[in-house]
Amino acid sequence: MCLNTLGQKGWSALPARDFPEGFLFGAATSSHQVEGGNDNCDWWDWELAGGAKDLSGTACEHYERYPEDIALLRSLGLNSYRFSLEWSRIEPEPGRFETRELEHYRDMALACRAQGVEPIVTLHHFTLPRWLSEKGGVLAPGSTERFAAFCGAAADALEGAARYIITINEPMILVLMGYVDGVWPPGRKSYPAAVAAAQRLVRWHRAAYDRIRARHPDMLLGIAKHWIDFQPLDKGSAAHRRGAALQHYLFNRWYLRAIRRSQDFIGLNYYSTRYVTSLTQGVPLASEDEPRTEMGWSISPQGLTRALRGLREFRLPIMVTENGIAAKDDGQRLAYLLDHLAAVRAAMREGIPVVGYQYWSLLDNFEWAEGYRPQFGLVHIDRDTQARTVRPSGERYGEIARTGRLAEPGGS
Ligand code: IFM
């Protein structure tokens, strides 16, 4: 029997199963996208100011309904759940930590554990408490110390309940959307501010890592890194190739290299390939007739295998912390899921230590500026009644999780 560095059994069983026993098959959500009523954060204000196509409002009422949602995830056969804490609930005013809210999230992690579900907890998933955004958000003086204090309090509350901790979700997406494109809070379009924000988010992670590591040696710490598979639109063009290489370095590698000594595992969020035409430009699709998701993104499972290969340089276990599709047609979702799981399997067969896969998302939810139209969920949410309905893709994914096999019985 083999053990990987996180102590999972069964790499030697790969030929019999497609995924080893103990592989973490799960699904992910984030607080603001599913909880509802997060009226003390920057996104709430952004929505009211017209920055999103819908108001998040009651979202999926997951703050109250999490026991039934975790039970549903478990009933499918999944063995892990990635969710996030809402900083604005936990620290509604600077330095005032709400014990009740810390207990709420500890209870969520314990509810997972009680059902044999591994909780994977994200501490920061895009939203900021209003008091911090009013002072300048990520770039506010002292924001690093504030973030580290919040993470320290959160980790103390999660001690013994959660092992996998993700400090920050997709720092470079936050920089891109909030400081380059200006379509998310704080709505800036400034390269100098973007560079400063990226550097500050490196400090946030390092400070949080040090704070948590000092008190909780058993926790496994990382980030969830959004990775775009940058490819030259025209492989014959030197300008396209140079552009792809630069964007790959700046977006995919720079942050991970900056925090390379402060990670126990790598969290990978992967969705699609982007076709690059210059140092700063690119298009989501190689051609107009290429299949795409409801977000307009390309569908490119081979990009996931390439991403996993690219992460080899960090010599750490890798968890796919997000991968999924917004699709009206659940058949398209299932095809995407199967093809991307096959892409993970291909990487594992090359010896890349992937320890889990979290589909985005468990529930149809609030897709930030795009509102509620894109449906990523394994579980459909009726927006009027909040009724949960498992989609066939969710059932099939659960079967894969239970058996560790990708092929249907009798299939190849
Ligand atoms: O919904 C988001 C999530 O919050 C972060 N990663 C990408 C998802 C789909 O856009």
- CB 275 less than 6 A from any atom of ligand 1: no
Count of CB atoms situated within 10 Å of the CB of 53: 14
Over the chain, what is the mean pLDDT? Answer: 96
Q: What is the pLDDT of residue 60?
A: 98
Locate the DSSP E strands across 155-219: 164-169
- Does residue 140 surpass a pLDDT of 80? yes
CA 124 to ligand 1 centroid distance, Å? 13
Is residue 2 included in any domain, yes or no? no
pLDDT digits (tens, 9 = 90+) for 151-174: 999 999 999 999 999 999 999 999
Candidate list 47, 91, 118, 170, residue with the active-site label:
170
Residue 83: domain span: 20-403
* Alpha carbon distance 408, 396 (integer Å): 9
Is residue 9 included in any domain, yes or no? no
Reported pTM: 0.96
Locate the DSSP E strands across 233-341: 266-276, 282-283, 318-322
Q: What is the pLDDT of residue 410?
A: 47
Mutate to test the pocket of ligand 1, among 360, 362, 370, 372 (most ligand atoms within 8 A of CB): 360
Is residue 7 included in any domain, yes or no? no
CA 156 to ligand 1 centroid distance, Å? 27
Amino acid at 157: A
Q: What is the pLDDT of residue 16?
A: 79
Which tokens belong to 392? Answer: 């066939």
* Alpha carbon distance 378, 404 (integer Å): 18
Is residue 15 included in any domain, yes or no? no
* Alpha carbon distance 258, 362 (integer Å): 31
* Alpha carbon distance 304, 170 (integer Å): 16
- Does residue 408 surpass a pLDDT of 80? no
CA 363 to ligand 1 centroid distance, Å? 12
Burial of 286 (0-12, 13-18, 19+ CB in 10 A): middle
**Cα torsion 48, 368, 292, 326: sign:** negative
- Does residue 311 surpass a pLDDT of 70? yes
* Alpha carbon distance 204, 87 (integer Å): 14
Give mean pLDDT, residues 217-223. Answer: 98
Is residue 8 included in any domain, yes or no? no
- CB 364 less than 6 A from any atom of ligand 1: no
Nearest atom in ligand 1 to the alpha carbon of residue 126 is 4
Q: Which of the four pLDDT bands, split at 50, 70 and 90, describes residue 307?
A: very high
* Alpha carbon distance 233, 277 (integer Å): 6
pLDDT digits (tens, 9 = 90+) for 126-135: 999 999 999 9
- Who wins on pLDDT, 412 or 403? 403
Give the position of tokens 């959160």. Answer: 154
Residue pair 132/143 in contact by the 8 Å Cβ criterion:
yes
Q: Which of the four pLDDT bands, split at 50, 70 and 90, describes residue 1?
A: very low
pLDDT digits (tens, 9 = 90+) for 57-73: 999 999 999 999 999 99
Which residues on adjacent β-strands are paired with residue 25? Answer: 357
Sort residue 55 into left (φ over 0), alpha (ψ -120 to 50) or beta: beta
Q: What is the pLDDT of residue 82?
A: 99
Q: Is 263 helix (H, G, I), strand (E, B) or coil?
A: coil
Q: What is the pLDDT of residue 15?
A: 55
Is residue 410 included in any domain, yes or no? no
Give mean pLDDT, residues 365-393. Answer: 98
Is residue 106 included in any domain, yes or no? yes
CA 98 to ligand 1 centroid distance, Å? 27
Q: Is 192 helix (H, G, I), strand (E, B) or coil?
A: helix
pLDDT digits (tens, 9 = 90+) for 224-272: 999 999 999 999 999 999 999 999 999 999 999 999 999 999 999 999 9
Q: What is the pLDDT of residue 3?
A: 39
CATH code where residue 193 lies: 3.20.20.80
Burial of 328 (0-12, 13-18, 19+ CB in 10 A): exposed
- Does residue 411 surpass a pLDDT of 80? no
* Alpha carbon distance 312, 157 (integer Å): 33
Domain total of the chain: 1
Which tokens belong to 384? Answer: 């009027």
Give mean pLDDT, residues 112-120. Answer: 98
Is residue 1 included in any domain, yes or no? no
Q: Is 170 a catalytic residue?
A: yes
